[in-house]
């Protein structure tokens, strides 16, 4: 069992992802934007993995910012990105090491595989 921080600006998708991940026995923390994510990352709460959308409200590459801040605050933290947009070279250059990307729309099986390989990395 692991603790996963889900950063997703769409409330519906955030809820769906939370239900899916909890179904496999993990715990979840939720954030809807960069600032909320940073509050949790700076707190002493245990986090095993970060699952973040890239496009967060007004921040086009907000998820990249969250991941970089997260790894700076918690070195070695595992990261899984998700996006409905095309993954550009510019985006890739902003990814932290050990990147995993899941394209939207993803099925439960696809999310489960991605979360498992993120935690196993």
Partner 1 sequence: MSIVIASEIVETVPSALIILDRALNITSANRAFYQIFRTSPAETVGCNIFELGNRQWDIPALRTLLERVIPEKNAVERFEMEHNFPNIGRRTMLVNARKILRPGELDGGIVLAIEDVSIERAAQAESERAWQLTQSIVDTIRDPLVVLEHDMTIVMASRAFLTIFGITEAAARGRHLSELGQHQWDVPALRFLMEKVLPENKPIESFEIEDDFSGLGRRVFNLNARKISQPGNHVHRMLLVFEDITDRKQRERDAEMLTNEISHRIKNNLQIIVGLIGFEAKTTAETGTQGYKAMQARISAIAELYDLISHSKRGGTITADTYLKGIAKTMSATLLGSESGIAIDVDAEPIDIDPNRAVPLGLLINELATNAIKHAFPGGRGRVVLSLKQDGVDIVLTVTDNGIGIRDQDAAKLPERRGFNYVTIFARQLGGTIIPQPVGDKGTTVKVLLPHLAAPTGIVRSAA
Q: Count of alpha carbons within 13 Å of 51, Cβ hemisphere only?
A: 29
- 48 φ/ψ angles, rounded to the nearest 5 degrees: -95, -30
Region from 13-21, 29-37, 62-70, 72-80 binding partner 1, contact rule CB under 8 A: 13-21
Q: Is the CB of 85 or the CB of 117 nearer to partner 1?
A: 85
Contacts to partner 1 from residues 51-80, by CB under 8 A: 55, 60
1, 86, 90, 93: which one binds partner 1 (CB under 8 A)? 86
State the nearest-atom distance from the C-beta of 86 to partner 1, in Å. Answer: 6
Closest CA to 51 of 14, 85, 91, 84: 14
DSSP 19: H
Q: Is the CB of 60 or the CB of 121 nearer to partner 1?
A: 60
Residues near 24 by beta carbon (within 8 Å), at least 6 away in sequence? 112, 115
43, 45, 84, 92: which one binds partner 1 (CB under 8 A)? 84
Q: Are 27 and 45 in contact (CB under 8 A)?
A: no
Residues that bind partner 1 (CB under 8 A): 10, 12-13, 16-17, 19-20, 55, 60, 83-86, 103-108
């Amino acid at each position: 069992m692991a603790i996963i921080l889900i950063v997703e600006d769409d409330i519906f998708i955030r809820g769906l992802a939370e239900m899916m991940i909890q179904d496999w026995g993990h715990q979840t923390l939720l954030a809807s934007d960069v600032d909320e994510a940073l509050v949790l990352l700076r707190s002493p709460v245990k986090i095993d993995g970060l699952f973040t959308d890239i496009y967060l409200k007004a921040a086009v590459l907000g998820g990249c910012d969250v991941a970089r801040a997260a790894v700076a605050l918690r070195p070695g933290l595992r990261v899984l990105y998700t996006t409905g947009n095309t993954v550009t070279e510019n985006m890739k250059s902003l990814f932290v090491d050990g990147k995993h990307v899941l394209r939207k729309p993803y099925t439960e099986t696809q999310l489960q595989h991605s979360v498992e390989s993120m935690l196993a990395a």
